[in-house]
Amino acid sequence: MSVVTRWIEYDISAVGSATDGGNGGKGTRGYSIGTSDPGDTISIGPTTNRLHLSLDGGSSDYITLYSGSNLDPRFVARDITEKLHNTGTTEAWTQSICTWENTTSSGGGNRFVIRSGSLGSSSSVTVGSGTNDARAVLGFNTKSEFGGSASPDGKASYTFSGDISISGTYYGFLDDVYKIVITNDHDATRGIGTPSKGGSNTYAGTLTTGGLFNHTSDLTYTIQIDATNGTTMGAGTGNVPLMKWSSSTDSGDWIELLYPNYWYKVGKYGLMVKFTDAVFNSASPAWTIPCYKPDYAQGTNASAPVGTAQYTYSSERGDDNISGVISTVSGSYTALGSRGLSIKFNPTSGSDNLGAGDCFYVICSAPKPSNYNISNLNYGNVTVSTESSVKTVAFEIQSGATQLSTVKFGLQNHGTFSHHNAGNSDTYFRFGTVGPGNVSNGYEWYPNITAADIDSDTPPTYLYATDDNLPVVATADDSKSVGNSPLRGLMSDPIWLNIRVGASETGANSSINYRLYFDYV
């Protein structure tokens, strides 16, 4: 019950960015895994709040982490990411990402992984010793570090000598990484076949596959479930089901399924799965999932020129291509995800073909928060009959819960304003939202929202919901729904707010109260 929360403010002009990793989208990222088990709650204090890192072999620097007791590891991972973005100026730092994930290297387990924002052979992450060292509490007192590679993820070398370019604005609210693979999906969408449930598996929820399989051979993954410790997710470490995967060429150790609707990696070649919140039983096999290598770039051709070759994509957060492969267009941009990006393939010559399995990455960083732990929203001086500035905030749980749901937002008190819903030159309390929990036309975020965007009950295409005038309410049921996502912490979607002061209002320094309702486990 001892849940601790915080509010974050964003500048309305904040916007994310998408890059090609400084290497034309080619190669892989270097990374560091803290291989010690830090548990599923992280306590950080004044003597354990600094991480000393070097990215891409550059000079090392400290980041100072958010302090607190029993912090959710997804919250900590995003905090690390945001601190990295604010520390360095090179792409390695500004596009770096820390995640809390089930690692697929030896030892397995749910661990922190820090990846450089660059691609290629110079990409690396080194976590070193320092003062007030956070390594032990994060599990980095033992670590595995791997440099990036110039080779493609999934096969030995690129057929394509050229590179990619990215166009557009990243309208995601959280960090993400797109994986693009040349294929015509001859066997299955994104190379991932239909899961088959084992005969003794009584799980009645839904397993959803995600990701993009890219390897030099077809593989069938077998997933085992061990429910000895617990039958349901969200129940805390030591009390949740375990999952293990194997194929003919790779296998993983038991990992805990800590959270529902959270992506877990299966194998080393791009398959992910997530589960709805339902009861597991011990089963082997619990599922088998066939995965197929990219056979062809187009038709029955292993390689094809730009303009003929086809590709598909997926993202770490599940923005996957579900509508069939996309044909490349020579000299033009084509779709990449649903968050506003496009991709172009740049051959070095007319004979520079794209080959099946050629793999590219696009690394996306989120809009940066402007203030943490805000305690009020100040609209400043607002003249009657005008709109105030628009404020953007998001809510999150930092500790004390594993799941957040049913987020609602309402106006609790309109303060000293006396012309709210009075029918006489009224004051309006405006509201809008969109985000990973409630995506609108691919948008999770939109920069420079103005009062005109939220002064109607009909939202523009880039917002999920708006209300031109919040009524005063006293319950969650009467408040406005706001989405939430578990993938980068227990966080609500962003909320845009402003007021329009009615023509007849008088006085100053009116305090109004909003109230947010939320369910948590």
Partner 1 sequence: MTRYWEVQLKDGTIIREGQMEWREVPKRAIIRLSLFFDGRHWDLIGKEAYFVKYRASMAPGIQESFRLERRTIGFYEGAEKICYHIDEITGKFSMEVIDNSAD
Binding stretches for partner 1 (CB under 8 A) = 1-7, 202-206, 208, 228-232, 234-236, 238-239, 260-261, 276-279, 373-377, 393, 395, 400, 402, 406, 412, 476, 513-521
> Least Å distance between CB 25 and partner 1?
30
Omega of the bond leading into 241 within 30 degrees of 0 (cis) = no
Is the CA virtual torsion 119, 133, 372, 464 positive or negative? positive
Q: Output 247 or 403, the one with its CB closest to partner 1.
A: 403
Nearer residue to partner 1 within complex by CB, 148 or 436: 436
Smallest distance, partner 1 to C-beta of residue 4, A: 8
**H runs (alpha helix) in 25-162:** 73-87, 91-94, 135-138
Complex with partner 1: residue 373 or 421, whichever CB lies closer: 373
Looking at the Cβ atoms of 339 and 391, the one nearer to partner 1 is: 391
Query: Tell me, what amino acid is at 108?
Result: G
Give me the phi and psi of 380, to 5 degrees please: 75, -165
Q: What is the DSSP letter of 136?
A: H
Closer to partner 1 by Cβ: residue 232 or 301: 232
Q: What's the closest the beta carbon of residue 482 comes to partner 1, in angstroms?
A: 12
Beta carbon of residue 7, minimum distance to partner 1 (angstroms, whole number): 4
Query: What is the gyration radius of the CA atoms in the chain, in angstroms?
Result: 24
CB 390 within 8 A of CB 14: no
Q: Which is nearer to partner 1, 216 or 373 (CB)?
A: 373
Is 301 exposed, middle or buried, given 0-12, 13-18 or 19+ CB atoms closer than 10 A? middle
* Nearest residue (CB) to partner 1, 335 versus 377: 377
Q: In angstroms, what is the minimal distance from the CB of 423 to partner 1?
A: 28
Block residue for tokens 């993954």: 221
Considering the complex, state which of residue 229 and residue 301 has its C-beta at the smaller distance from partner 1: 229
The three-class DSSP label of residue 476 is coil
Which residue number, 162 or 260, has a Cβ lying nearer to partner 1?
A: 260
Task: Name the minimum Å distance from CB 475 to partner 1.
Answer: 8
CA 268, CA 192: separation in Å to the nearest integer? 14
Smallest separation, CB 474 to partner 1 (Å): 10
Task: Report in angstroms how near the CB of residue 374 gets to partner 1 at its nearest.
Answer: 5
The least CB distance from residue 170 to partner 1, in Å, is 25
Distance of closest approach, residue 297 Cβ to partner 1, in angstroms: 31
CB of 400 to partner 1, least distance (A): 8
Q: Return the number of other C-beta atoms located less than 10 Å from residue 442's C-beta.
A: 15
Minimal CA–CA distance to 124: which of 96, 151, 146?
Answer: 146
Other Cβ atoms less than 10 A from the Cβ of 245: the count is: 28
3-state secondary structure of 135: helix
Name the strand (E) or helix (H) holding 264: strand 264-266
Q: Which is nearer to partner 1, 129 or 228 (CB)?
A: 228
Question: Least distance in Å: CB of 409 to partner 1?
Answer: 9
> Nearer Cβ to partner 1, position 41 or 105?
41
Cα distance between residue 505 and residue 297, in whole Å:
66
Cα–Cα distance for residue pair 74/491, rounded to 1 Å:
10
**DSSP character string of 8-47:** EEE-TT---EEE-TTTTTBS---EEEE-S---SSEEE-TT
**Taking Cα atoms as reference points, which of 319, 317, 299, 318 lies closest to residue 309?**
299
Tell me how far apart the alpha carbons of residues 209 and 101 are, in angstroms, rounded to a whole number: 16
Name the residue nearer to partner 1 (CB basis): 3 or 326: 3
**Burial annotation 373-407 (CB, 10 A radius, 16+ → b, else e):** eeeebebeebeeeebbebbbbbbbbbbbbbbbeeb
- Phi, psi (degrees; rounded to nearest 5) at 223: -110, 130
